[in-house]
């Protein structure tokens, strides 16, 4: 179509190329752009392939890190485009949850001495012993507290 309009405009002094585009219902912007065909979105496909390979290699990378990695590999990268393509391809940054340690098994602080070392337990409610621990369930963390009377604790020593 572009070649037809160019030949007709060169042969005719009466009609301009803009008028011919209007008569043929051909977009003038397309004619003005030239005879070069519009490139297909091969660049986006190459981007997506590279992004998916990076996401498989390094699953903790988000769109910023993937964009920087694409730039390191020589591709022209824009973080906005990377975010949009990752959203369209449903690529997510997978991070592991940090393990929360609730008990310090080797305390560095002072150890408190037993306050009643010489007390001979002769009955109930003279000395108590208590402890607390956490139990990790599948969906939550629960705590278990135990309080013992000193009679049982003294027998266990």
pLDDT tens string 25-69: 778 777 777 765 545 456 678 888 888 899 889 888 888 998 899
**Residue 128 belongs to some domain of the structure:** yes
Kindly give, in sequence order, each residue whose CB lies less than 8 Å from that of residue 68, ignoring residues fewer than 6 positions away.
77
Residues 85 and 113 reside in one and the same domain: no
Q: Are residues 108 and 151 in the same domain?
A: yes
pLDDT exceeding 90 applies to what percent of the chain? 11
Residues 46 and 78 in one domain: yes
Give the total number of structural domains in the chain. 3
pLDDT band at 136 (very low <50, low <70, confident <90, very high): very high
Provide the CB-side half-sphere exposure for 25 (13 A, CA): 0
Give residue-wise pLDDT tens across range 54-111: 988 988 888 899 889 988 888 888 888 888 888 888 888 887 778 887 777 777 776 7
What is the predicted pLDDT for the residue at 36? Answer: 57
> Is residue 141 a contact partner of residue 135, using CB atoms and an 8 Å limit?
yes
Cβ neighbour number for residue 128 with a 10 Å cutoff:
12
Give the residue numbers spanning the domain of 11.
Answer: 2-33
Per-residue confidence (pLDDT) for residue 39, from 0 to 100: 52
pLDDT score for 143:
95
Q: Residue 32: its pLDDT value, please?
A: 72
Residue 145 has pLDDT above 90, yes or no: yes
For 105, the token pair is 């098994």
Q: Which helix (H) or strand (E) holds 51?
A: helix 42-57
Report yes or no on whether pTM surpasses 0.75: no
Q: In the numeric block, which tokens belong to residue 127?
A: 């000395």
Q: Does 94 fall in a domain?
A: no
pLDDT in the model for residue 26: 77
pLDDT of 146 reads 92
Structure tokens at 38: 């519009």
The pLDDT confidence band at residue 2, using thresholds 50, 70 and 90, is low
| Inside any domain, residue 52 | yes
């Amino acid at each position: 179509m572009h070649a037809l309009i160019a030949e007709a405009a060169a042969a005719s002094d009466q009609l301009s190329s803009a008028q011919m585009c209007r008569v043929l219902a051909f977009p003038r912007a397309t004619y003005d752009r030239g005879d070069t065909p519009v490139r297909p979105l091969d660049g986006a496909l190459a981007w997506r392939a590279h992004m998916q390979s990076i996401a498989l290699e390094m699953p903790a990378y988000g769109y910023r890190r993937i964009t920087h990695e694409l730039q390191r590999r020589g591709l022209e990268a824009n973080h906005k485009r990377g975010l949009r393509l990752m959203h369209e391809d449903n690529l997510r940054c997978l991070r592991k949850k940090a393990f929360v340690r609730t008990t310090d098994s080797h305390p560095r602080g002072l150890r408190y001495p037993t306050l009643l070392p010489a007390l001979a337990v002769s009955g109930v409610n003279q000395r108590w012993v208590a402890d607390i621990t956490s139990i990790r369930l599948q969906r939550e963390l629960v705590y278990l507290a135990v309080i013992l009377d000193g009679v049982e604790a003294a027998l266990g020593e």
